[in-house]
Amino acid sequence: MRLGLRLILLLVVGVTVVTFLVARSQVRAEKQGLRDDLQRRSEILAESLQELVEPALGQRSHRELRRIVERFGNRERLAGVAIYDLDGKVIAESPGLSERLDPPAPPLAQIKNDESSGKFVELAGAPMHAYYVPLHNNGQVAGALAVFDDAAYIYQEGDRIWRETMWHVVAEVLLIVFVTVLIIRSTIVVPISKTTQWVRQLRFGKGKIPPRPRLPDEDILAPLSAEVMNLARSLAEARAAAEEEARLRESGEAVWTAERLRLAIRSRTEQKSLFVVSNREPYSHVYGTKGIELQVPASGLVTALEPVLRACDGTWIASGSGSADRETVDKNERIRVPPDNPEYTLRRVWLPKKIEDGYYYGFANEGLWPLCHIAHARPVFRASDWEAYQAANQKFADAALEEMEQTSQPLLLVQDYHFALLPRMIKQRRPEVRVAIFWHIPWPNPEAFGICPWRRELLDGLLGADMIGFHTQAHCNNFLETADQTLQSRIEWERFAVRRNDHSTIVRPFPISVDMRDGVFARETDSPYLLRAKLLKQLGISAQFLGVGVDRIDYTKGLLERFRGVEHFIEKHPSYRGKFTFVQIGAPSRTRIDRYQQFLQDVEGEAARINARFQTPQWRPIVMLTRHHSHEEILPYYRAADLCLVTSLHDGMNLVAKEFVAARDDEEGALILSQFTGASRELRDALIVNPYDTEQLSEAIRQALEMDSDERHERMHRMRRTVREKNIYRWAGTLITELAEIRVEEPDFAAQRPR
């Protein structure tokens, strides 16, 4: 409150001072205007009288002079008129002028020089203006005429302005005090009070994080609001981590947490620095309505690797994709992140559009993606795309080598199929670098991979790494068989390694997962039933049961097969018509590729066909939500759904399945999971289906909706335990730990060529 009083006092003083200065300037200007006006009127009257007086003065008719003076001496604000000879003696004057004012003698020197003059004087205690003009006789100065005007009204006008100004000051001060109190209360006191209450709840509360209060996003409190949010978030995370660690110690569980990951990385890497290369960056900057805005992509990879990079102050090398990315980096293309608490470096790489199109949209996503996903999509290989892929890999390799230049024994973790050539490029110039690459998509059998015209170069590039990671052992086996049949190498099956040109590459499964900390997936306070009703109302649908699917719109995700399974279920079980609605949240993906554009049209057309067959005015069997959704937008659907459909035709892991399980802290809901996903190897309590089998898929939907409550709880309980134990931190920890412990061999890579 003292702050408010000081602010009000300062405003009052400031307004008063400013108003006083303005009023003083206004009074001065007004007085000067009135003075100038009075002087002009005096001059005009004097000149008029001069023309009448001079003839009478020439005739020495004092009587006529007195008559003229008496006739003009009673005008408004005119105190009197006097006529003088050259000796300064009064010849004629207005009646009683001398008695009232005792007028001063005229300035004879100026009069004799035939000059007029005017001045403000005080006569008999009253402000007056005296104006003197010379009188002539036969062309010679013969006397003077004086006009005396009352100037008191000028000062009275100034006093009036001051009085009005003071009243205005009083009114303004009262209004300012009132408005300031309202502003301080609404924009400072109330938000700070809410924030204080929220932080107090965080500090003393237990369980879930209380809802965040609405705070001003702009103006003076914006920096404070941001810092309070960061502090509160850090406090909540620290408490959650401490509680989780205490719970794990009490129960004797060996679950990986963010803190355990940090400690493990520090102890394993010692003085080694970690570098990560990926196509997608963890933070991007874009131009928005409020200028440059920060975006954080929804990515499990970011969740997994950020604690690692923070723990060892590492460097993340990625493609700059944001419209404002160039404006936020330094001269070395670097920026420290996260913005609120910088702990590691983001190095951005810029690719020319032609290279980016050929490397990313061409070879990576029209060639390698369909090649590795056995989903009946024909891969397209172009020589120009291969050249762009090589150029992009070299560009990223150069950036990584530049970042590692001053680092001894660095660790390099390369991400995904975009950089198959990069490990060899690094090893040829820095053999002592420990290099691992994690392949996030499936690896096909040798016959399928043999389609690629540059299969030898790709394999040789990958085998430059010290370690290659896949999601499942099956993908590891496929890779080893492919290397055995494609390159001159020796497969060491007993330790799952490839020996080539005196260099060993170990091949390991590292199943990726999600972050299942309390509060990350369980932010909804409503029960699933209330939440379901709310979501259906927003969609304009009346239904009892809700199914959900969350996918990029990609031909590998089995969306058409999924919709046909829903169609067959409703057809086979008509009692669910009007009761079961399936919501497909689909993010458009790679729409610059014709195959994806056509697939999006196919999916929307299939949903429209099924809806046209069954829908009623209040109900639709399928709702398509085709736009990008944030994690916060998707979470309510996970929490409210009776079942989640994951029907990938081929998938390395599929984190949607694990996200759904992690979100169900109520241990409700059923997961229907494709047998062709990596997740099906771990989540055995899901309803495992062949997505190509429409009858089986339909029956799984029925079983999920009609499953006994105890069985549903038991299945979800076991799946949640699996996801909790095999979480994202375990993935990152084991991957980096094994990489750090690899004994590096330094063969002559420069002399090696694919054979």
Residue 240 pLDDT more than 70? no
End-to-end CA distance of the chain: 80
Please state the φ and ψ torsions of residue 297, each to the nearest 5 degrees.
Answer: -65, 145
CA–CA dist 551, 697 (Å, integer): 18
Sheet holding 670-674, edge to edge: 622-626, 580-587, 545-552, 643-646, 670-674, 687-689
Quick check: 53 and 73 in contact, CB under 8 A? no
Half-sphere exposure of 480 (CA within 13 A, CB side): 25
- pLDDT of 492 reads 95
pLDDT digits (tens, 9 = 90+) for 273-319: 899 999 999 999 999 888 898 888 766 677 678 878 887 889 999 99
Three-class SS string for 251-303?
Answer: HCCCCCCHHHHHHHHHHHHCCCCEEEEECCCCCEEEEECCEEEEECCCCHHHH
Residue 354 pLDDT more than 90? yes
In 3-state terms, what secondary structure has residue 84?
strand
Whether residue 338 is preceded by a cis peptide bond, meaning omega within 30 degrees of 0, is yes
Q: 201 vs 21, 116, 247, CA distance in Å?
A: 51, 86, 22
CA–CA dist 279, 747 (Å, integer): 29
Residue 272, both tokens: 């080694």
Strand partners, 118: 131
- pLDDT of 247 reads 56
pTM > 0.75: no
DSSP-assigned states of every residue in 343-398 = -EEEEEE---HHHHIIIIIIIIIIIIHHHHS-SS------HHHHHHHHHHHHHHHH
pLDDT digits (tens, 9 = 90+) for 79-92: 888 888 888 888 88
Domains of the chain, first to last: 37-156 (3.30.450.20), 270-509 (3.40.50.2000), 528-726 (3.40.50.2000)
Quick check: 332 and 346 in contact, CB under 8 A? no
CA–CA dist 742, 744 (Å, integer): 6
Residue 245 pLDDT more than 50? yes
13 membership: H or E segment, kind and range: helix 2-58
Residue 293, both tokens: 């805005």
Three-class SS string for 408-467?
Answer: CCCEEEEECHHHCCHHHHHHHHCCCCEEEEECCCCCCCHHHHCCCCCHHHHHHHHCCCCE
pLDDT digits (tens, 9 = 90+) for 538-589: 999 999 999 999 999 999 999 999 999 999 999 999 999 999 999 999 989 8
In terms of Cβ atoms closer than 10 Å to its own Cβ (0-12, 13-18, 19+), residue 688 is middle
Lowest mean pLDDT among 95-104, 527-536, 683-692: 95-104
674 membership: H or E segment, kind and range: strand 670-674
CA–CA dist 335, 339 (Å, integer): 9
Amino acid at 716: M
CA nearest to 261, candidates 741, 731, 706: 731
Lowest mean pLDDT among 338-347, 615-624, 695-704: 338-347
pLDDT digits (tens, 9 = 90+) for 477-500: 999 999 999 999 999 999 999 999
pLDDT digits (tens, 9 = 90+) for 698-707: 999 999 999 9
Lowest mean pLDDT among 267-271, 655-659, 720-724: 267-271
pLDDT digits (tens, 9 = 90+) for 146-169: 888 888 888 888 788 778 777 877
Q: For CA atoms 396, 399, 405, 408, give the dihedral sign.
A: negative
Lowest mean pLDDT among 14-23, 121-130, 680-689: 14-23
CA nearest to 663, candidates 524, 546, 533: 524
